[in-house]
Amino acid sequence: MSSHATPHQVEPIAFGQRLQIHRNRRGMSRTVLAGLFGKSPSWVKAVESGRLQTPKLPMILRIAEVLRVRDLVDLTGPEVGTSLPTELFIGPGHSRLPAVRAAVDAYPLTTSRQAPPLEHLRARITRAWTARHQAPDHRRVIGTLLPDLIRDAQLAARQADRATDRRTAQSLLAQVYALAQFFLAYQPDSSLLWRVAERCVVAAQESEDPHTIGIAAWLAAEAHRDAAHYDAADAVTEETLRWLAPHRPDGGDDVRAIAGALEVAAGYTAARRGNAGAAWGFWDRARASADRLPNDYYHPVTSFSRTVMGAHAVTVAVELHAGGESVRQAARADAHTIPSRPRRARHRIEEARAHQLAGEAETALATLERAHQTAPETIAYNGFARRILLEESESRVPAPRARASRLAVEIGALAA
């Protein structure tokens, strides 16, 4: 042993070992992982064994995207990661986050304040969802509304006397927690997001309302998939779809729409796993569900509708890393028909992913610029957009490098 060594020194974990740990944690074979970013299983094995050196930043970013590694240091190690932007799938903490956190954390038992009437609270929640869809700075808008909505909905649930009022109040409380999840997503407080998600599920179950239960399940599945808990996401969607089945014929458009949204969610998870057959099968089921809705119907929480199915097809193809199919689906989808600004911006980001997969960097960047014009807060918190901009900011071609760097600085993904 060298005289300079100490008994407590630990060899750093190499990139390949970290890659293998994350891959195994996600339950992915080398074949599936390799296929999702266009490499061979033998290439993955060579990187994991250390026979190949650590890839360059663009490939590291693509691996991080596939494995849903939120902090790049977890994948690269601090020795490599110190020079890299660390947060990929976590955006900045919003200025309204402390106020929303305080409202969630509060536990007022002795207040004498009277809860607002349930119909008044319902109208405020409806206006909040409408404001979210219309505003380019939607996090600021709902972050401003949420603290009072959380406090009033909690009071309403606690003060309701009759059984029917208690169920209605629990449904409204679940809807407020659903709105909070849209605000908290991709912010640096994942424990708060999970607490709100769990409260949403509990309140929804207490409401006994199929539509509200479906919303809570859809949001729980989204959270599980974003955390790469694919088995949990599948369990939530499959169980809820089975439970909703007898409610769908007579449950009205909202129940049929939330079931369709859950079918889309199941398709997204299958695509994230690399299972093309199951992914497109769920999309087909969702398409049939959308076709049973009125032409002008638009679900206020999930955006599920006829108009959004083209956008969903783009995402399925992109999650399967099928570049040509992604671009074909993007050409068919019409972003202008999506009434929600944040959902339209998200679709633009998915289009950008499609064009980058197809090797069309300039088109991808132009599409991200349109997303930024539509809803700046959407792109600032979107890990896929951040990954594209960081990758293209390393391009050897001056024009896309400068274009990507400018937008990356504007959304806070790179320092000025």
Q: What is the pLDDT along the chain (416 residues), one digit of tens a residue?
A: 444 444 444 456 788 888 888 888 777 788 878 877 777 888 888 888 888 888 877 778 778 777 777 667 777 776 554 445 555 566 678 999 999 999 999 877 767 789 999 999 999 999 999 999 999 999 999 999 999 999 999 999 999 999 999 999 999 999 999 999 999 998 888 899 999 999 999 999 999 999 999 999 999 999 999 888 889 999 999 999 999 999 999 989 999 999 999 999 999 999 988 899 999 999 999 999 999 999 999 999 999 999 999 999 999 999 998 889 999 999 999 888 999 999 999 999 999 999 998 989 999 999 999 999 999 999 998 988 988 888 888 888 888 889 999 998 898 877 66
Q: How far apart are alpha carbons 163 and 135 in whole angstroms?
A: 36
- Amino acid 415: pLDDT: 64
Question: Position of tokens 């769920």?
Answer: 282
- Amino acid 1: pLDDT: 43
Token pair of 47, please?
């990187």
Q: How far apart are alpha carbons 48 and 42 in whole angstroms?
A: 10
Residue 409 in contact with residue 415, Cβ under 8 Å?
yes
CB atoms within 10 A of CB 252: 11
Residues of each domain in the chain carrying CATH 1.10.260.40: 15-81
Q: How far apart are alpha carbons 76 and 86 in whole angstroms?
A: 10
Exposure letters 56-85 (e unless 16+ CB within 10 A, then b): ebeebbbbbbbbbbbebbbbbbeebbeebb
Q: How far apart are alpha carbons 342 and 268 in whole angstroms?
A: 19
- Amino acid 62: pLDDT: 76
Residue 241 in contact with residue 267, Cβ under 8 Å?
no
Residue 178 in contact with residue 215, Cβ under 8 Å?
yes
Select the CATH number that applies to the domain covering 15-81 from these four: 1.10.260.40, 1.10.1370.30, 3.30.70.260, 3.40.50.261. 1.10.260.40
- Amino acid 11: pLDDT: 57
Residue 392 in contact with residue 365, Cβ under 8 Å?
yes
Q: Interhelix angle for 309-319 vs 252-273, to 10°?
A: 20
- Amino acid 368: pLDDT: 96
Q: Can you give the three-state secondary structure of the chain, one letter per residue? A: CCCCCCCCCCCCCCHHHHHHHHHHHCCCCHHHHHHHCCCCHHHHHHHHHCCCCCCCHHHHHHHHHHHCCCEHHHHHCHHHHCCCCCECCCCCCCCCHHHHHHHHHCCCCCCCCCCCCHHHHHHHHHHHHHHHHHCCCHHHHHHHHHHHHHHHHHHHHHHCCCHHHHHHHHHHHHHHHHHHHHHHCCCCCHHHHHHHHHHHHHHHHHHCCHHHHHHHHHHHHHHHHHCCCHHHHHHHHHHHHHHHHHHCCCCHHHHHHHHHHHHHHHHHHHHHHCCHHHHHHHHHHHHHHHHCCCCCCCCCCCCCCCCCHHHHHHHHHHHCCCHHHHHHHHHHCCHHHCCCHHHHHHHHHHHHHHHHHCCCHHHHHHHHHHHHHHCHHHHHCCHHHHHHHHHHCCCCCHHHHHHHHHHHHHHCCCCC
- Amino acid 120: pLDDT: 97
